[in-house]
Amino acid sequence: MAIRKKSTKSPPVLSHEFILQNHADIVSCVAMVFLLGLMFEITAKASIIFVTLQYNVTLPATEQATESASLYYYGIKDLATVFFYMLVAIIIHAIIQEYVLDKINRRMHFSKTKHSKFNESGQLSAFYFFACVWGTFILVSENYVSDPTILWRAYPHNLMTFQMKFFYISQLAYWFHAFPELYFQKTKKEDIPRQLVYIGLYLFHIAGAYLLNLNHLGLVLLVLHYFVEFLFHISRLFYFSDEKYQKGFSLWAVLFVLGRLLTLILSVLTVGFGLARAENQKLDFSTGNFNVLAVRIAVLASICITQAFMMWKFINFQLRRWREHSTFQAPPVRKKPTVTKGRSSRKGTENGVNGTVTSNGADSPRNRKDKSS
């Protein structure tokens, strides 16, 4: 009697398909580890670094401020906080995808190309709307609208309110979460370079404003940019449901150009004029003062190059849409029937219309009978 040998190979615990199908559950378990760590005294100190904001400073009450204020500055521990809220962003992304976007996709029966673009616009429109409302609330609560000089006055802005710091932490966490989402959403290889440039530009400018203590200017520019981008993606969602809808794109095109102009005006006004006339223009890492000529030129150059790149992409997009629209509306060209000359044309007329044989032709059976008689 033959004895079967037991297989020594163990099945893969975390396969590719398993991770893709259950990535939200895996990330949720990792996030719960940090939250459960707050319940035990041994792990509470380590978990607090990931869950709560770090580097808290309490300012005592003064004559102007009757109550003590709790402010924050940035440090290396912020990377841990960004990592935790990156996990939260992945979970929220999966919830929106499963309970909102996938249900709409099943009803609309989109093609594969429209399916991926619809998911992208659905996720980004939700994020842009939330971030734009949150940023506007901070601008109003901290009197940015009534006093625009707050953008450069009292620089460096190394102390932030809870809302300001949490806003920047969440922005960095969201755009860092976009890297693993390229894998989770099975992004096409030809689309990955475009997405990497897109994500990299956001992280570069948000982190630059955060680290150079230009958080006031960065907040205003982000709210302005997010509002324009929200209008584009919400218009694209309506376009997928009804391809005749074009009004949203027309409004977005106007606001996009205005947004680029306002971005350049506010940047030059803050960095080129406001900070250039400040009294303290010495590089000091301890106080977070980066108001020197080289840094100001680098900041303005990066902003101008980015705006020029966005305008170049915008012009190419509009030209492509114009070509598609013109070719779609162009009437089809009808070919005129060609008439041959010489014997072939006479033969064609004898044999009937378009070469078909008629009863009156010379080669009909009755004519042949008359000739033979």
Q: Cα(116)–Cα(125) distance, rounded to whole angstroms?
A: 14
Residue 10 Cα distances to 6, 7, 52, angstroms: 11, 8, 41
Nearest by Cα to 34 from 92, 89, 87: 87
- In angstroms, the Cα distances linking 1 to 4, 7 are 10, 19
For residue 358, being part of any structural domain is answered with no
What phi-psi label fits residue 213: left (phi over 0), alpha (psi between -120 and 50 degrees) or beta?
left
Q: Is residue 203 part of a domain?
A: yes
Q: Quick check: 199 and 182 in contact, CB under 8 A? A: no
Q: How far, CA to CA in Å, does 335 sit from each of 329, 331, 332, 356?
A: 19, 13, 10, 21
Domain contains 344: no
169: nearest Cα among 140, 211, 129, 199: 211
Residue 152 CB contacts under 8 Å (≥ 6 apart), including other chains = 216, 217, 270, 271, 274, 275, 278
Q: What's phi and psi for 17, nearest 5 deg?
A: -65, -35
- Residue 337 within any structural domain of the chain: no
User: In a 10 Å sphere around its CB, with 0-12 CB exposed, 13-18 middle and 19+ buried, how is residue 299 labelled?
Assistant: buried
- Crossing angle between the packed helical segments 16-37 and 78-96, to the nearest 10 degrees: 130
- The encoded tokens of residue 98 equal 């499963």
Question: What pLDDT does 354 receive?
Answer: 42
274-281's contacts with Cβ under 8 Å and 24+ in sequence apart are: 274/149, 274/151, 274/152, 274/153, 275/152, 275/155, 278/152, 278/155, 280/155
Angle at 15 between CA 11 and CA 19, to 5 degrees: 140
Distance in Å from the first CA to the final CA of the chain: 100
Distance CA 240, CA 224 (A): 25
Measured CA to CA, the distance from residue 245 to residue 140 in angstroms comes to 34
Distance, CA of 118 to CA of 139 (rounded, Å) = 31
**Quick check: is 268 in a domain?**
yes
Q: How many domains does the chain have?
A: 1
The tens-digit pLDDT sequence of the chain (373 residues) is: 444 554 455 544 556 677 767 788 889 999 999 999 999 989 999 999 999 999 999 888 665 666 778 899 999 999 999 999 999 999 999 999 999 999 998 888 888 778 888 999 999 999 999 999 999 999 999 888 788 889 998 898 999 999 999 999 999 999 999 999 999 888 888 889 999 999 999 999 999 999 999 999 999 999 999 999 999 999 999 888 877 777 888 899 999 999 999 999 999 999 999 999 988 888 999 889 999 999 999 999 999 999 999 999 999 988 887 887 777 665 555 555 555 544 444 444 444 434 443 444 444 444 444 444 4
- pLDDT for position 247: 82
Residue 99 CB coordination number (10 Å): 9
Q: Position 339: which residue type? A: V
In a domain, 348, yes or no: no
What residue numbers bound the domain in which 150 lies?
A: 52-59+67-326
Q: Kindly state whether residue 300 falls inside one of the protein's structural domains.
A: yes
What is the Cα–Cα distance from 64 to 62, expressed in whole angstroms?
5
C-alpha 142/C-alpha 6 separation (Å) is 70
Q: Is residue 350 part of a domain?
A: no
